[in-house]
Amino acid sequence: MKASSSKKYIFAVGRRKTSTARVRLFKGVGENLVNGIKIINSLIDKPFKTANAIDKFYFTAKVVGGGKEGQIQAVVHGIARALVKLDSEKFRIPLKKEGLLTRDSRERQRRMVGTGGKARRKKQSPKR
């Protein structure tokens, strides 16, 4: 762990639903790690493909909260933000066009009192 901390990196935070991803973007070739696990996912490669930066960068990410899908989307958001921090003129326009820089603020609707454990369910009205 000590060897990777001495390398230069760009730091960014990505969020989605209740997930938060802290992303470190490194130049060069290396393993993409999420919470210490090597990850291969086509969705995670999307910011690199959009910015024509595949095999030029690699990242490590620490993700907390939420489920798998929200965590993946948080990592993607963090990678896109880190790429823009690195070179704003080059990467911002294609990433923005693809919608990768916008924080998706949709969250789960909390349940209301008297709805039987569901957010939108209503009590059944009596027929007579």
Domain boundaries, the chain: 2-98
Q: How confident is the model at residue 6 (pLDDT cuts 50, 70, 90)?
A: low
pLDDT value for 5: 53
pTM of the model: 0.86
Sequence-ordered list of residues with C-beta below 8 angstroms from that of 122, at least 6 positions apart, any chain: 115
**pLDDT at 1 > cutoff 70:** no
pLDDT value for 41: 85
Neighbour-count burial for 70-81, b at 16+ CB within 10 Å, e otherwise: bbbbbbbbbbbb
For the ranges 5-9, 49-53, 97-101, the lowest mean pLDDT is seen at 5-9
Q: 14 with 78: CB under 8 angstroms?
A: yes
Q: 97 with 46: CB under 8 angstroms?
A: no
Hey, is 108 helix, strand or coil?
coil
Fold of the domain built from segment(s) 2-98: Ribosomal Protein S5; domain 2 (3.30.230)
pLDDT value for 110: 93
**pLDDT at 48 > cutoff 50:** yes
State pLDDT tens for residues 94-127.
Answer: 999 999 999 999 999 999 988 888 999 988 888 7
Q: 85 with 12: CB under 8 angstroms?
A: yes
State pLDDT tens for residues 21-45.
Answer: 999 999 999 999 999 999 988 899 9
Range list of β-strands (E), 1-128:
10-16, 19-27, 33-34, 37-38, 57-64
